[in-house]
Amino acid sequence: MENEEKEKRLTEEAELTADKKEPEKTEEEQPKTISGYALKFGQPSKDLGGFVEVITPEALKEVDLSNVFLLHNHDYSKPLASTKAGTLKLEVDDIGLHFEAELNGTTYANDVYENVSKKLLDKMSFGFVLGIDSFSEKEDGEVVRSIDKIQKLNEISVVTVPAYDSSNVQVDKRSYEAFMSNNQSNKTNKALESTSKTQKESKKMEKTLIDNEKTEIRGYEDYIRSQGEERDGVTTVNAAAVVPSEVIGEVFDLKRSNYNLAQYATVKTVSNGQGKYPVATNQQAVLATKAELAEIADIDAEMFTQVDYKVETRAGKIALSNEVVEDSEVNIVAEVKDQLAKLVENTDNKHIMDLLKTFTKQTAATLDDLKQIHNVVLDPALDKMVILNQSGFNHLDTLKDADGRYILQPDVTAPSGKSLFGMPVVLISDALFANPKAGTFPMVMGDIAQSVFVARRNQITTQWEKFDYYSQGLAVVVRNDYKTIDPNASVYIEFTPATGTGE
């Protein structure tokens, strides 16, 4: 769910071991197994900003462990085992959550096994959604946060770098502040000084991050104005400058754009050039009747689809005149950001539309044909919308039903301000979504988020180049991919109106 705060925790004393079973088999045939504790009860964490944290034995009592992944460094594109596949076994005992996993035969799984065997990897982490927590204060003034209930356990991970620090802790500030306020009279001067010190350190760290961000942007501006000569403070990859993360964050912030189709798709940042990403589907799972004390039955439905992606390199140009580069009054980074955002938007739109046009093709000649597609062909559980080009929008916008009401109804929540059969209408240009032939209007109807997956590598590089004798600027490299999630979640329609349609 979008509103769930997913947290990660480190288990330092994971007792991680690597074992080989069935020694009568050859070296290659022996299944590679690792085991240990994903989490331990009652173990205090490090200082998380004024308090420490413990997991109580009750935290896992109501957690469904039937669909948990074993990952490396929380990377869903490299699953090592899963409970659903029967290769990951989880058991709650008096110590904590014990696991045993038979690793798949992939190269990265073998690497993890070897690193565990050699004790290079000896820590575990786990990703979860918080259910209930509580705060208490010990006699020495130390505040303890208890995780009393975990709502959902998403995955456990063999980790290289500890993930149990303040940046991974999502605490409801209101409950924490309320607790601190209610216990103010009981706080000692030592506790107050400790809290003040923590706040000062937090502010100091925040200021350092802001200063580093400003330094990175200034360095990138110097790189542009020097036409690639100055590189102090700039991260480079193969001689190309990496665009600062603050700039990229705004470029990829789809909420700032009214015309990027990626805002309707499922967009994920991926850490690898290729892999698989689990995406929740429009599944038809049914909860089974459960007798008291009986085990929870497996849900007989595919909750996720594994989307194969392979990011591709896509290049473009940002043109900059000498006057703009040399004029110190011009915000050169903002100029680059604006052109870059347009390049990314144009690229997204083209590839998403090209992909949507490969979905099942339907033809329609009347409004009743369109209603039949909406009512019968597409699952009613889908969150449907309709994408129209200018020509198709104009045609439908002039049609009226038998009672004289316009077919396209006003809808302030729709991107175009209009809806069709209750579906918000997205309007794009004829240039992007051209009519297949004269008198025929193309449409896409369906749930775009369930249809299109956009994989992004959250890094853009630029390099100063002379494009020709007269022009120069930045050559841009972006890496992403566009894939189908559910081929039945949308349809491509060619609407050729019959004479008198809608009248």
DSSP per residue over 102-171, as a string? Answer: E--SSHHHHHHHHHHHTTS--EEEEEEEEEEEEEEE-TTS-EEEEEEEEEEEEEEEEESS---SGGG---
Please tell me the predicted confidence (pLDDT) of residue 502. Answer: 45
For residues 10 and 134, the answer to whether their CB atoms sit within 8 Å is no
Residue 1's pLDDT is 40
pLDDT score for 163: 42
DSSP codes of every residue in 390-420: HHHHHHHHT-B-TTS-BSSEE-TTSTTSEEE
Low-confidence ranges of the chain (pLDDT < 70): 1-7, 9-10, 12, 14, 20-30, 48-49, 161-213, 255-258, 282-303, 499-503
Q: Residues 6 or more apart from 354 whose CB is under 8 A from it?
A: 482
- SS3 category, 23: coil
The reported pLDDT for the residue numbered 170 is 43
Q: What does DSSP say about strands 123-137 and 143-159: parallel, antiparallel, or unpaired?
A: antiparallel
User: Which residues in 234-335 belong to E strands, given as ranges?
Assistant: 236-237, 240-242, 266-269, 274-280, 304-310, 312-319
Give the DSSP H or E segment for 216. helix 189-225
pLDDT digits (tens, 9 = 90+) for 362-406: 999 999 999 999 999 999 989 999 999 999 999 999 998 888 889
Residues for the chain: how many in total? 503
According to the model, what pLDDT value does residue 403 have?
A: 83
Q: Work out the angle between the directed axes of helices 332-356 and 189-225 (0-180°, nearest 10).
A: 90
Alpha carbon distance 208, 196 (integer Å): 18
Q: Give the other-Cβ count within 10 Å of 59's Cβ.
A: 26
Distance CA 205, CA 211 (A): 10
pTM for this model (two decimals): 0.56
258-282 residue pLDDT tens: 678 999 999 988 877 888 888 877 5
C-alpha to C-alpha distance for 27 and 30, rounded to whole angstroms: 6
Determine contact, residues 149/58, Cβ cutoff 8 Å: yes
Question: Considering only CA atoms, which of 305, 332, 310 is closest in space to residue 321?
Answer: 332
